[in-house]
Copies of this chain bind each other. A is one copy, B any other.
């Protein structure tokens, strides 16, 4: 028997929302923002259209999760996701000479798989806010949110199967396999919370499954739909994989030092729940005095963030930094981004599409995204 893991109830009060969506930031390369915007513009009508084919109650909960409706089902314009994965699909389709609109089915499918995993992760992690709003389970209860996640996963296969591309069966194989690995990454991530010690290698392997795998698959699906040869698909898959690891490292840095107004999550949320994220594990494995002090204080919590003082969280963050965890994560993210860009180059992308993918990759790894 494992130790008990308590699922959250809808009765739990969600944490206060950390203010509205972020204001536009200066200095971010406009190419990347425009690329994301264009992908979102292409994605969103198709995504809404497909989600609305789900049985009505499930479609309603999904619409809330995606930010299209409020908790009462009224139209809303909540901040939607960044659509990074769909942008990688359409960008990679264009990079190999295909067209973005022709790759909208895999773009929708990867976004559905991503959101299936968010709905389940929020339940498993007990997270009460996402994208500056209460999470679906906090509004509709864990069972309804869990089942809505299930429905998005089933829908992802259907969206691919309904496309008229000759690559449907291959695409479904790849997406299903990546989803299985993503699920195993989530399982490992949760199991780490119960373990005293996790090695950096284990933690990197977990991040590769949980995050990098679906980004790699997004790139591969885009290239496949765009008609690329296997070598080019492999190069773009490698681009997505390295980018995914860089992205997760960046996310882990934001989980400790991110601005709640930008991330949409409470400050130092990852420390409050004792998440064994990459900077934390790097610090604990550093064999420094600060790392050892961190390891002693980083035992499993019973009640999570609720009872943690801001002072204690600030101390934990300082210990991660002093032990070199922050610097290691920054350096490793930068190295992974470099590897991603090398792989992108190897795919010999169409010049414009290559520039857009490169800008997108740099944006995804910015610590103020």
Contacts and interface: CB of A to CB of B under 8 A. Distances in A.
A197 interface: no
Contact of A2 (B3, B140, B186, B190): B140
A5 B10 CA distance: 7
Given A6-B9, A9-B4, A9-B6, A154 B179 contact: yes
Nearest to A158: B176
A112 B280 CA distance: 38
Interface in A3-26: 3-7, 9-12
A144 interface: yes
Contacts of A7: 6-7, 142
A173 B144 contact: no
Contact of A157 (B5, B142, B172, B184): B172
A55 interface: yes
Interface string A9-51: 1111000000000000000000000000000000000000000
Contacts of A186: 147
Contact of A146 (B1, B139, B146): B146
Interface stretch (A161-169, A233-241, A281-289): A161-169
Contacts of A116: 150
A183 B147 contact: yes
Interface in A138-158: 139-144, 146-147, 149-151, 153-155, 157-158
Interface string A173-191: 1011101110110111011
Give the oligomeric copy count: 2
A276 interface: no
**DSSP class of A's interface residues: helix, strand, loop or mixed?**
helix
Interface in A103-155: 116, 120, 123-124, 139-144, 146-147, 149-151, 153-155
Contact of A147 (B58, B168, B187): B187
14 contacts: A3-B10, A4-B141, A7-B142, A57-B188, A58-B187, A116-B150, A154-B177, A155-B180, A157-B176, A158-B176, A160-B172, A161-B169, A161-B173, A169-B169
Given A55-B180, A154-B177, 19 more contacts: A1-B11, A2-B144, A3-B11, A4-B11, A5-B10, A6-B7, A54-B184, A55-B181, A120-B147, A144-B187, A144-B190, A146-B146, A149-B150, A154-B180, A155-B180, A157-B175, A158-B173, A158-B176, A161-B172
